[in-house]
Amino acid sequence: MFPNLFTIEEAQEVEAAPILAERLDAFVSRFGRLQDTVGDKLLPALLSALAETLGPTIDNLDKAEKFRFIESADGWMDGNAQTAQPGGARVHRGFGRAFQRLA
């Protein structure tokens, strides 16, 4: 979507650059859907495969943090609430380790 790193200067130009604004909007939308899918579908399936009892989303996120699948349950929730700032919550490389344990 972005050929180079997205810079502060580009962020300041968004209002004057409709194509950039459209790309940024598309990225934020896709990131939000990805995060929702991981939290609502992938994480419960992974926890279930690990024989963990599923609960409300926040409980599942706490377990994901315990297993180090994500860096922070609070960060995940903050990032989900502030989708315009996707760096607030990242999928941790622990998901890869979890899949290796299942194999």
Q: What is the mean pLDDT of each run of 10 residues along the chain (103 residues)?
A: 76 83 85 86 93 92 91 79 43 46 46
Position 45 scores a pLDDT of 94
Structure tokens at 42: 């992938």
**Secondary element (H or E) of residue 41:** none
Rounded to the nearest 5°, which phi and psi values hold at 12?
Answer: -70, -20
Position 1 scores a pLDDT of 64
Position 50 scores a pLDDT of 93
